[in-house]
Amino acid sequence: MKKYTLLLLIIFFGSLDAHESGIKGGYISRKHGEKTLPSLSYEKKQRPPYSWENDFTRRHFPITKEHFRCRGSGLNEERIEIEGEETVVIRDCLDGHRHTLPIHNDKEFIYPILIDILNHIQDQTGKKVVITSGHRCPDHNRYVDPSKENETSKHLIGAEVSFYVEGMEDQPLKVVDHILGYYPDSNFSRFEKKTNVSTLPWYNKEIFIKLFLENEGRNKDNSHSFPYLSIQVRFDKDSQELVSYTWKKAHRGFKKK
């Protein structure tokens, strides 16, 4: 008889060692015909809020790397995914804890160009940039979008941000103009190959910009109804290196707080 295996993925945020060793979860399987699942003790907990989450004013403040912290929450519902003959339960991260941003040279790190451009937009428009997805730890990244392409997202390494501008929700092209205006001496090209957006992305040596329309790129981080922009870092001026995803940067570079 064909055997069906039920795979439960349990995120171990109680154990730093689990993260550092790259172990993502525990596995429980049952044979076909068994009626009940083993009960798992799992209590949902909210992580402590980040400082900027308590700001309910309409004012905008300078963007810092603090605004890029992972949006994961232990209060988010588990998601059930079918993978072949396996059922996988995917849980979000940050169950009652925080974790750091990616660690680079012993410090929490977001590529500075992202912070600079978002502040440039705020300075130029006088409006508030709302980051909807900054750093995503591996668990949150998978929770948001378990697709193969997303496994190497630059969100994992602090090199990508998704956002919209409050009060300019329906004018994303004007926001793009402000981004291009950040580079008065740089010509941008349009990326002609097929992507997951209908608007041709813009790119120069340093960054790659995508515009997601109302019906594009929706996920847990971007469940709002506005168009939004994402900026990926392609080249790091400081190190003079191309910026690319690596497993090590994504999985080893942050710590539980």
Segment interacting with Zn ion, rule: CB under 5 A, options 68-76, 125-133, 176-184, 189-197: 68-76
Q: How far is the CB of 99 from Zn ion (least distance, A)?
A: 6
DSSP 44-101: --PPPPPGGGG--SS------GGGGS----TTSPPEEEEETTEEEEE--S-SS--BPP
List the one residue out of 107, 126, 129 whose CA is nearest residue 117.
129
Please tell me the number of Cα atoms within 13 Å of 29 on its side-chain side: 7
Segment interacting with Zn ion, rule: CB under 5 A, options 31-39, 62-70, 80-88, 120-128: 62-70
Q: Using CB under 5 A, which residues numbered 78 to 97 contact Zn ion?
A: 93
- Nearer to Zn ion by Cβ, of 114 and 165: the residue is 114
- Nearer to Zn ion by Cβ, of 74 and 172: the residue is 74
Angstrom distance (rounded) from CA 254 to CA 257: 9
Segment interacting with Zn ion, rule: CB under 5 A, options 55-63, 140-148, 168-176, 219-227: 140-148
- Nearer to Zn ion by Cβ, of 49 and 84: the residue is 49
Q: Does 140 bind Zn ion (CB under 5 A)?
A: yes
Angstrom distance (rounded) from CA 108 to CA 106: 7
Give how far Cα 205 sits from Cα of 58, 124, 189, Å: 34, 23, 10
- Nearer to Zn ion by Cβ, of 93 and 175: the residue is 93
The tokens describing 166, both together, are: 């409050």
List the one residue out of 61, 15, 5, 22 whose CA is nearest residue 249.
22
- Nearer to Zn ion by Cβ, of 60 and 140: the residue is 140
SS3 204: coil
Q: Does 70 bind Zn ion (CB under 5 A)?
A: yes
- Nearer to Zn ion by Cβ, of 94 and 168: the residue is 94
The residue from 63, 137, 157, 179 that contacts Zn ion (CB under 5 A) is 137
SS3 18: helix
Q: Using CB under 5 A, which residues numbered 192 to 251 contact Zn ion?
A: none
Q: Does 72 bind Zn ion (CB under 5 A)?
A: yes
What residues line the site for Zn ion (CB under 5 A)? 70, 72, 93, 137, 140
